[in-house]
């Protein structure tokens, strides 16, 4: 399995524009956005969450937080495990949510650390990985964020890559490992949050690009706040990402229409990387007879 497919395999989530968006990335115990329904869907897996990274304060991305905190304090799991909530600096809706939670959720059994972020900060994750927020384009007055999970790696400098092994060993013995190697950042996952299409440089050669594609057609877009499938596939091609995940589709579209549009664009634009999407049809619950 390629690294990109492995990353996608470790990603769980839900997304429907204006209703709810959240994604859980298991290896880093990280919840990206916290839309309604997250606790119901994840159940006991909520204890696997160490941090929540919020992209912006719209209801469909934050409404699940009060429920998540309550469930984490009362379900079957480690009730004392602390939780960090990252969010864009000075986001007024999230500051209101913070006050609402203080007033209504009551005393929790664990500590919640609220941490404002600005773009390009580096938050250490496990091993040599980092969470890096960046500015998205969502038409708000304040800062809205996307997030990257970046792995810090080391490789041989280009000039030494074809050298016979013994010569390389001698060089390392004489001058140390640093003399022949260089460090670089590799993007494992880039999550756009809600955004117009991002600059491809932000996710250059990323393993997985997870990007807002609210619209199937640019004509359906009334405000410049969300991207189209075509824009995102073109940007993914430019950046040569290894795989793409499309999310945040508008509920105006039906499932077959979404699949048809993506399939046609993949062919027309000659997209060679695997393309994934998330869309949920409404499935009302009915009472079941025993």
| 60/17 Cα distance (integer angstroms) | 7
Task: Please say which residue, 47 or 277, places its beta carbon nearer to Zn ion.
Answer: 277
Long-range pairs of 93-97 with CB within 8 A, sequence gap ≥ 24: 93/56, 93/57, 93/58, 93/59, 93/62, 94/54, 94/57, 94/62, 96/57, 97/57, 97/62, 97/65, 97/66
Q: Which of residues 92-121 bind Zn ion (CB under 5 A)?
A: none
Min separation Cβ 248 and Zn ion, Å: 6
Please state the closest distance from residue 205 (CB atom) to Zn ion, in A. 27
Beta carbon of residue 165, minimum distance to Zn ion (angstroms, whole number): 52
Alpha carbon distance 113, 81 (integer Å): 11
Q: Is 91 in the site for Zn ion (CB under 5 A)?
A: no
- How big is the site for Zn ion, counted in residues (CB under 5 A)? 3
- What is the smallest separation between the CB atom of 144 and Zn ion, expressed in angstroms? 8
CB of 247 to Zn ion, least distance (A): 10
Residue 194 or 230: the one with the smaller Cβ distance to Zn ion is 194
CB 196 within 8 A of CB 227: yes
Q: Where are the beta strands (DSSP E) in the chain?
A: 11-16, 20-25, 30-32, 51-53, 83-88, 112-117, 123-124, 129-135, 145-156, 181-191, 208-212, 243-247, 275-277
Nearer to Zn ion, 21 or 150 (CB): 21
Nearer to Zn ion, 58 or 148 (CB): 58
Backbone angles phi, psi at 267, to 5 degrees: -70, -50
**Which one-letter DSSP state was computed for residue 48?**
G
CB of 8 to Zn ion, least distance (A): 21
Nearest CB to Zn ion, comparing residues 162 and 223: 223
Positions in 34-63 near Zn ion (CB under 5 A): 58, 60
Contacts with Zn ion in 174-213 (CB under 5 A)?
A: 194
Q: Which of 216, 195, 193, 139 is nearest to 21 (CA)?
A: 193
Closer CB to Zn ion, 188 or 215, in the complex: 215
Residues that bind Zn ion (CB under 5 A): 58, 60, 194
């Amino acid at each position: 399995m390629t690294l990109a497919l492995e990353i996608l395999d470790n990603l769980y989530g839900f997304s429907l524009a204006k209703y709810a968006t959240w994604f859980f990335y298991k290896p880093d115990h990280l919840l990206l956005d916290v839309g309604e329904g997250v606790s119901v869907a994840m159940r006991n897996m909520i204890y696997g969450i160490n941090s929540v990274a919020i992209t912006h304060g719209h209801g469909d991305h934050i409404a699940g937080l009060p429920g998540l905190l309550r469930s984490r304090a009362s379900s079957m799991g480690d009730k004392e495990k602390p939780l960090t909530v990252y969010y864009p600096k000075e986001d007024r809706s999230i500051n209101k949510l913070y006050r609402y939670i203080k007033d209504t959720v009551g005393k929790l059994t664990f500590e919640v650390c609220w941490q404002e972020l600005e773009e390009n900060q580096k938050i250490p994750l496990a091993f040599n990985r980092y969470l890096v927020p960046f500015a998205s384009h969502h038409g708000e007055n304040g800062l809205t964020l996307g997030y990257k999970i970046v792995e810090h790696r080391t490789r041989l400098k280009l000039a030494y890559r074809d050298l016979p092994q013994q010569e390389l060993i001698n060089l390392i013995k004489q001058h140390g490992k640093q003399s022949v190697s260089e460090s670089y950042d590799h993007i494992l996952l880039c999550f756009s949050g809600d955004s117009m299409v991002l600059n491809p440089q932000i996710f250059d050669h990323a393993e997985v690009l997870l990007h807002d594609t609210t619209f199937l057609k640019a004509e359906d877009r009334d405000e410049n706040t969300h991207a189209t499938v075509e824009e995102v596939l073109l940007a993914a091609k430019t950046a040569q990402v290894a795989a793409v995940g499309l999310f945040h589709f508008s509920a105006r579209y039906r499932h077959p229409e979404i699949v048809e549009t993506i399939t046609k664009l993949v062919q027309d634009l000659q997209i060679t990387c695997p393309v994934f999407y998330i869309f949920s049809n409404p499935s009302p619950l009915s009472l079941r007879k025993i």
